[in-house]
Structure 1
Amino acid sequence: MAQFNDWCFSVDEQVGNHFRRVMTGQAASIPIGIQATAAIVPAHYASEEQVARALARLGKPEAAALIEGKLPTTKAIRSGDLGEIYATEWIDGHSGGYRAPIKRLRWKDHRNMAMRGDDVIGIFQDPQTQRLHFLKTEAKSRVALTAQVLNEARAGLDKSDGLPSAHALSFISARLLELNQLPLADAIDDALLKHGISSQNVRHLLFTFSGNAPDALLTASLQAYPGPINQWGVGLRVEGHAAFIGAVYDRVVSDANNA
């Protein structure tokens, strides 16, 4: 987990019927944030089994090269990837029951290309009915967050009538089949092909990672939403955003070579 509570101060606020959380990295705890983040980044690009197999078969330098070869090298893609990683980690650890069933970045076409489709989809399965509830997520990472960036995120969330796209859910189902997670794959297929998905079973998450304060921007975005789907706005602010990202990826490479 990204251990947000160990290095961030959080403030929650209700915005009408919607929810906003702002997490601010504390200057004295930034090294903790870099360490905690670097510890979870490799698993978003390669499975633990793949790395362990490379380590056992080929040795430490080759396993480190495998990890490093999957990491993006451009600042823009690193920023976007880390925003998605943080959104995934927040869903898994702080959303109250939703889980991101796959780590999408493992299936990137190229390390310096962004993933297409819905950024992240969290899923909660009702233990009584076995029906699925979805957390459709757009993640944005910017040195300076702007209203225009949030408008772009809103446009993404509103696609497909605000529902998770059939393409994104089919992608998740196919990956779960490959991972032998058959019950959840079947439940996704049932939602797509048998039951259908209602807006009542969908929530939106707008997740931002920025160097400037997202409070007012997130509040304005939530207040402006006119639709029926419950909204969450979560912002992570880290001063020195670009330097922080660089330090995280440098630490990932260093840790891989010294494991």
Structure 2
Amino acid sequence: MAQFNDWCQSVDEHVGDHFRSVLTAFPANIPVGISATTAIVPEHYASEEHVARALARLGKPAAAALIQGKLPTTKSIRSGDLGEIYATEWIAEFSVYRAPIKRLRWKDHRNMAMRGDDVIGIFLNPQTQQLCFLKVEAKSRATLTARTLTEARAGLDKDGGKPSPHALSFISERLFELNDLPLADAIDEALLKHGIPIQNVRHLLFTFSGNAPGNMLVAALHGYPGPINQWGVGLHVEGHAAFIGAVYDGVIANANNA
């Protein structure tokens, strides 16, 4: 996990019926954040089993090449990918949902952004036995603006605010390939048979930025007029661009030194 509590201060509050959390990196602990992030980034691009098999069969240089070949080289794609990675990790650390696949493993090209919903979190309600969905839009910007949050809102509101059928079908197919048949079947049933009640959907607007996101997230939550419960979460790291560069440099160095 990203171990946010080891390098960030978290300030949480309710905004009406919604929830906002701002995680701010302690300047002195930024190296801790870089180290923790460097450790988790590779598994978002390639499974540990794939890397281990390449290492055993082909040796360290080939395993390092496998990882490095999947990492984006452009600053904008690295930024966007890391925002999505942090959203996925926040879900795992601080919510009951889980993102059942790490979708960056299936990118068409390392320097292309993936289309569709950024992340989908899933939770099986033990009382109703219904699947609940967390639809996520993740935005990473050196300087976050209200316009960026407006773009995120437009993404969240697509498909009536529900996860897109394409995104759910994609997850189901990947889970089938990974032999997680019960969850794949449950998603197919929700998508194709029972439908998804709007009360079983929550939104997460996640930002990763070099400036403070708190007031903009509050405004975005206040401005939402719809029926879906909203979470707004912002990760604030001074020196956003340098931080991202250090993370990816560290991943490459670790792969070559493993």
The structural deviation recorded for 1:194 is 1.2
Please give the residue correspondences for 1:176-187 in structure 2 after superposition, counting only pairs within 5 Å. Answer: 176-187=175-186
With normalisation by structure 1, the TM-score equals 0.99
Report the counterpart of residue 132 of structure 2 in structure 1: 133
Q: Secondary structure at the match of 2:101?
A: coil
4+ residue segments displaced more than 4 Å? none
Pair 1:52 & 2:52 matched: yes
Report the counterpart of residue 116 of structure 1 in structure 2: 115
User: Matches of 2:161 and 2:70 in 1, distance apart?
Assistant: 32
Q: What is the CA deviation profile of residues 143-195 of structure 1, one whole-angstrom value per residue up to 9, with x for unaligned ones?
A: 00000000000000000010001000000000000000000000000101111
User: Matches of 1:63 and 1:128 in 2, distance apart?
Assistant: 44
Q: What is the CA deviation profile of residues 48-92 of structure 1, one whole-angstrom value per residue up to 9, with x for unaligned ones?
A: 110000000000111001000000000000000000000000111
User: Matches of 1:67 and 1:188 in 2, distance apart?
Assistant: 30
Report the counterpart of residue 199 of structure 2 in structure 1: 200
Pair 1:159 & 2:158 matched: yes
User: Matches of 1:82 and 1:51 in 2, distance apart?
Assistant: 20
Please give the residue correspondences for 1:46-85 in structure 2 after superposition, counting only pairs within 5 Å. Answer: 46-85=46-85
User: Matches of 2:59 and 2:45 in 1, distance apart?
Assistant: 19
Q: What is the CA deviation profile of residues 212-258 of structure 1, one whole-angstrom value per residue up to 9, with x for unaligned ones?
A: 00000000000000000000000000000000000000000001111
User: Matches of 2:100 and 2:62 in 1, distance apart?
Assistant: 28
User: What letter is aligned with 2:134?
Assistant: L
Please give the residue correspondences for 1:1-259 in structure 2 after superposition, counting only pairs within 5 Å. Answer: 1-95=1-95, 97-259=96-258
User: Matches of 2:92 and 2:194 in 1, distance apart?
Assistant: 25
The structural deviation recorded for 1:93 is 1.2
User: Matches of 1:244 and 1:52 in 2, distance apart?
Assistant: 28
Q: Secondary structure at the match of 1:105?
A: helix
The structural deviation recorded for 1:127 is 2.5
Q: Secondary structure at the match of 1:39?
A: helix
* Matched residue count: 258
- Shifted more, 127-136 versus 42-51: the winner is 127-136
User: Matches of 1:204 and 1:54 in 2, distance apart?
Assistant: 38
Q: Which runs of 5+ in 2 are unaligned?
A: none
User: What letter is aligned with 2:159?
Assistant: S
User: What letter is aligned with 1:210?
Assistant: S
User: Matches of 2:179 and 2:132 in 1, distance apart?
Assistant: 21
User: Matches of 1:187 and 1:93 in 2, distance apart?
Assistant: 24
CA RMSD of aligned residues (A): 0.5
User: Matches of 2:212 and 2:29 in 1, distance apart?
Assistant: 18
Q: Secondary structure at the match of 2:207?
A: strand
- Shifted more, 160-169 versus 126-135: the winner is 126-135
User: What letter is aligned with 2:77?
Assistant: I
User: Matches of 1:227 and 1:118 in 2, distance apart?
Assistant: 19
Q: Secondary structure at the match of 2:139?
A: strand
User: What letter is aligned with 1:46?
Assistant: A
User: Matches of 1:208 and 1:61 in 2, distance apart?
Assistant: 35
User: Matches of 1:162 and 1:109 in 2, distance apart?
Assistant: 26
Identity of aligned residues (%): 79
The structural deviation recorded for 1:128 is 3.8
With normalisation by structure 2, the TM-score equals 0.99
